[in-house]
Amino acid sequence: MKNQMTHPQDLAACRTIAEAFSLSAQRFPDRIAVQCAATSLSYQELDRRANALAGRLRTDGVAAETLVGLSVRRSSDLIVAMLAILKAGGAYVPLDPEYPADRLNYLIADARPGIIIVDDESRERISAAAAAQDIALLDLDALAPSHADSPEMPAPSRDGLAYVIYTSGSTGGPKGNLISHRNVLRLFSESQPYYDFGPDDIWPLLHSYAFDFSVWEIFGALLHGGKLLIPDLATIRDPSALLAYLREHRVTVLNQTPSFFYQLSRYLSEHPQKREALESLAFVIFGGERLDLAQLKPWFKTMGDDGPVLVNMYGITETTVHVTLHVVTADESGKRQSAGIGEALPDLSLFLLDDRLNPVAAGEVGELYVAGPGLARGYHGRPGLTAEAFIPCPFPGHEGARMYKTNDLAKIDQHGELVYESRKGGYVKIRGFRVSLAEIESALCELDGVANAVVQAAVEDGRDLVLAYVRFAAAPMSLRELRQSLAEKIPGFMMPHHFHRIDSLPLTTHGKLDRGRLPQVARALSDERPADAPASADEAEMMAIWRRVLGVDSLGPRDDFFALGGDSIRAVELIMALNRAGWPAAVEDIFHSPTVRDLNDRSLRGAAGLTPAPATVADTASDMQRIMLEQYQAAPAGLGVYHVQQWFTCDDASLDVDRLLEAFRAAFSAHPIFRTLFVRDGDAIRRVETDAARVRLDAVDIRRDAPRQQQSLVAEYARADLHTPFTPFEAGTEMARLRFFQTTDSRCVVFLSIHHAIDDGWGQQRFFDAVFQQYHRHAPIPMPTRADVFSEYVALQQRMARDAEAMEYWRLAPFAGKQALERRSDQPATIIEQKRRVASRLVAGVGRCARARRIQTRSLYLAAVGHAIAQASRDPHVLIGIVVNGRVPELSDPLEAVGLFWNLQPLSFDASECSWETASEIHRRLLRQEKYALYPHSAIFEARSPGREFFHTFNFTNFRARDSQESDLRDWDGVDRFHYPVNIAVHLDEDAEIAEFRLSRDPAHCPDAAAEALFQAFEHALDAIAAAPSAIEA
């Protein structure tokens, strides 16, 4: 920001806003003051027209402190009328014609202005309410042009009333804020040293004049000799049109609520060539809502450090638009989720207090109080409410002064920055406006057919939302009917984002409303569209993408992603496909909106695919790699801990083993993970990329041996391979071995052994599928070198490990520490692996239950595993290490990359019963944890249970073979051993209704009898789920 004013104007010497404007008109008479479409007014013309109208107002009885209603469309006439009211000594009361009739009627009845200025468009909407209050109307369109001399005006008073803007009230009715000329003039005189506004600045009026952000926009231009632009609403609401408008008019100061700016930012990221539209911009000034830094990433990605200065200004209508000022930078997102709100303007004081008005310590959340000359007089006609909100300031230096109780919560974070947290009580800021939840409830309850309504706030992905829960008196209204009826009572910015139907109000044992249970007893209110018909072309296209990713022939717009077999891997795949098609959705959005209709409504589709952000990389080992390497080094040869072996039979009438070898050699060379050498660096382990792949490939021809001998040779090789350990820290040695045993002219056994630190199941499947597809297409063998995606993954994990929100989540998450085991210093003498096929009727029953209850199949199997563990341990509170997917869309190539892209995370729950309710709770917990999937589990144990580790782990896979019938995954077999005492895996092929229960165990901790009991309890739990019709009916 500039530090010196090149266009000084002594606003402090002016007594009224009108006087300050007249000074601008004297200095810049011929400059354009206001431009609306093709019409423009110079400062001299605007001043003359305002004087003429002010004279008429004086004739009609307007004097000092007279309230004048202002209901005029967006035009230069609006500014003329506003200035005229101020010149006549009155105070304007915005009555935006865009508001619904009920809202306008309330404002007129409460404010009781002496006169209301209207135009032809607003007269009809206002006339009835004005007549009921016996209030005269002054129609601008009916007035004859006048060029009368300046009328005699009342003696100017700096403390005189300038405007009354209404905001939501806690009792359900809006309340009028009384703002003086002094309040407004000092806002600009105190801000001017930071901005240096002047006559070369061009300001668009983007907000309703009933929202006090407009005061900043209108007078920011007119009190400094700048140009005020008035674009139409269609331009404001269309990012493409708005950018073109900004470019055409060379706008320098853009004021935005965060919600609107996020849309503009997303559009600009999809059309980076349009960034030149912002070349003239000096400032983007935010106000009205909490600023979510994550949603600014597309902006910084597109604009870098070359764009305009971003300024976050916190404020409240009662404190005259703005209170604080904070410059937002790209690197701030690494420190916090919400942008800081900065320091108070020089003439204001901020206090962060507890409920007893004592200052809170740094890091603690307190309520913000504001003191200083920005405070409003109070509320129009509400002395009691004024006394509650504007209280004596008890702090030194403010004797006799008032401070305003904001109902906003904030804290000083670890970086010393003041950060907004949330609204306190029943308020929330939506789309720049402060909204009373009680007011929306009142409006809903006034509708015919509505018996009760509960409205509450929620936060999703940094966005503040309003949710409405409605109980109907008789037949329920459709979503469309309810929205239309409510729109007649409240303005659009107060409309809830989501509506839910409830049959009754859930109550606590004390008879009070149980708000926490509302989501459990509610059903989303639907409209009248056919259930299976797409509502738009975008929805139809999204449905096609879902069908392709999920591999289903048909689905409806309300079918649940997880009920259709979706999981975290498929979620990543789906998001990547949607991003390419122009939907700016994230994996988290699928968890919150798991149907096509909800996801399409949630995401604003752009015209082109989205470009991923540049990746950062790190060369250290991941958390799981470090654990695996340490345990592998300590294990005796032949134990097979993290020494993965996989084998399968490949049938091909035109089998060419030499060509297969060549294809795999090229593929291994293309992936950087196979060139990884691990190097110790003190206590840390680093990854170094070598020149060649650390892989040994060969082929053995055993066609002349009998089938039984062939089997013996493969088995003997497997045993020898386990006793030939890999050497991760030694250069020139292998980390993977691939051997082809050719058994006939058209068949071979493919045998892979690989260190788990560079491998996971998904990457291994995609790697083999890709090579076989290329081999069978007879494509050229050379493959392009792949990006080092795993280094990106490690960098993301390191960033997650520093994330304060993630730390707090895992600090508070349920954690059954008694189920943890003291970290082992010795290795098991042996590890036993066994597998059992789950009855197909159980697999089918679990699938039906998952679809009916719209939860992940994984959650049902996990509920059964947890119940089996609880039975075995005789402790209902279980702790299981869950294998979680780390292939997130933030990676440059998450689906095709090879490497260890998974993590172990704790899940604790009450497993005393196995029911779909238990599975539903697991489902919800896993969805919440998905956001923190990369957080290192060793860090969780260090914080929650130092020196201990998991006793039980669980892995669930539902991979699909693609174009790889020769190597059908159901024919795969192998060895995959962890060092933990009991490791359970469920491998599912849902299409074939095949599931396999695999158990890898240390017999010292889980002997044969215990293993058998574990499986029996698991099957009985599944049977209870699958055999209970009442539990699975939709």
Q: Does residue 960 surpass a pLDDT of 60? A: no
The tokens for 811 are 């600090």
Q: Which of 938, 935, 957 is nearest to 947 (CA)?
A: 938
Q: What is the pLDDT of residues 257-312, one digit of tens each?
A: 887 888 788 788 888 889 989 999 999 999 988 887 877 888 988 887 778 999 99
Domain membership flag for residue 129: yes
pTM, two decimal places: 0.51
Judge if 372 and 401 occupy the same domain: yes
Judge if 750 and 775 occupy the same domain: yes
Q: How many angstroms separate the CA atoms of 389 and 402, rounded? A: 10
The tokens for 803 are 């994330």
Q: Which of 1024, 997, 994 is nearest to 1012 (CA)?
A: 997
Q: Does residue 1010 surpass a pLDDT of 90? A: yes
Domain boundaries, position 567: 537-602
Q: What is the DSSP letter of 813?
A: S
Percent of the chain with pLDDT over 70: 90
Residue 566 main-chain phi, psi, to 5 deg: -70, 145
Lowest mean pLDDT among 159-173, 598-612, 768-782, 875-889: 598-612
Q: Does residue 969 surpass a pLDDT of 60? A: no
Percentages helix, strand, coil for the chain, rounded to the nearest 5?
40, 25, 40
The whole-number average pLDDT for the span 584-611 is 74
Q: What is the predicted pLDDT for the residue at 429?
A: 64
Contact of 366 with 360, CB cutoff 8 Å: yes
Q: What is the predicted pLDDT for the residue at 900?
A: 95
Looking at 182, 201, 216, which one is the last position of a domain? 182
What is the rounded radius of gyration, in angstroms, for the C-alpha atoms of the chain?
34
180: β partners: 161
Q: How many structural domains compose the chain?
A: 5
Confidence grade of residue 845 (pLDDT, cut at 50, 70, 90)? confident
818: β partners: none
Q: What is the pLDDT of residues 434-461, one digit of tens each?
A: 677 767 887 887 788 887 788 888 876 5
- The residues near 242 (Cβ < 8 Å, ≥ 6 apart) are 231, 235, 236, 264
Average pLDDT, the chain: 86
Looking at 524, 559, 583, which one is the last position of a domain? 524
Residue 585 belongs to a domain with what CATH number? 1.10.1200.10
The whole-number average pLDDT for the span 503-514 is 64
Judge if 50 and 28 occupy the same domain: yes
Cβ count within 10 A of residue 363: 9
Q: Does residue 894 surpass a pLDDT of 70? A: yes
Confidence grade of residue 152 (pLDDT, cut at 50, 70, 90)? low
Judge if 459 and 586 occupy the same domain: no
Q: How many angstroms separate the CA atoms of 690 and 693, rounded? A: 7
Confidence grade of residue 527 (pLDDT, cut at 50, 70, 90)? low
Domain membership flag for residue 84: yes
Residue 730 belongs to a domain with what CATH number? 3.30.559.10
Domain membership flag for residue 154: yes
Q: How many angstroms separate the CA atoms of 256 and 249, rounded? A: 17
Q: How many angstroms separate the CA atoms of 127 and 1022, rounded? A: 69
Judge if 75 and 168 occupy the same domain: yes
Domain membership flag for residue 746: yes
Cβ count within 10 A of residue 50: 26
Judge if 456 and 556 occupy the same domain: no
| Pairwise pLDDT comparison (987 vs 491), residue with the higher score | 987
Q: What is the predicted pLDDT for the residue at 1033?
A: 33
Q: How many angstroms separate the CA atoms of 621 and 725, rounded? A: 20
Q: Does residue 427 surpass a pLDDT of 70? A: no
Q: What is the predicted pLDDT for the residue at 933?
A: 87
Residue 144 belongs to a domain with what CATH number? 3.40.50.12780
Q: What is the predicted pLDDT for the residue at 238?
A: 85
469: β partners: 454, 500
Domain membership flag for residue 293: no
Domain membership flag for residue 713: yes
At 615, which helix (H) or strand (E)? none
Confidence grade of residue 991 (pLDDT, cut at 50, 70, 90)? low
Judge if 511 and 544 occupy the same domain: no
Judge if 668 and 763 occupy the same domain: yes
Lowest mean pLDDT among 260-264, 415-419, 880-884: 260-264
Contact of 112 with 226, CB cutoff 8 Å: no
Residue 974 main-chain phi, psi, to 5 deg: 165, -170
Q: What is the pLDDT of residues 14-54, one digit of tens each?
A: 999 999 999 999 999 999 999 998 899 999 999 999 999 99
Q: What is the pLDDT of residues 155-213, one digit of tens each?
A: 778 999 999 999 876 555 789 999 999 999 999 999 999 999 999 999 999 999 999 99
Judge if 554 and 508 occupy the same domain: no
The tokens for 215 are 């005061």
Q: What is the predicted pLDDT for the residue at 169?
A: 60
Domain membership flag for residue 995: no
Judge if 152 and 41 occupy the same domain: yes
Domain membership flag for residue 220: no
The whole-number average pLDDT for the span 146-158 is 68
| Pairwise pLDDT comparison (353 vs 599), residue with the higher score | 353
Percent of the chain with pLDDT over 90: 47
Judge if 651 and 554 occupy the same domain: no
Looking at 785, 819, 853, which one is the last position of a domain? 785
Contact of 9 with 21, CB cutoff 8 Å: no
Q: What is the pLDDT of residues 740-786, one digit of tens each?
A: 999 999 999 999 999 999 999 888 888 888 888 778 777 565 666 78
Judge if 383 and 483 occupy the same domain: no
C-alpha 957: how far from chain center = 27
Residue 443 belongs to a domain with what CATH number? 3.30.300.30
Confidence grade of residue 109 (pLDDT, cut at 50, 70, 90)? very high
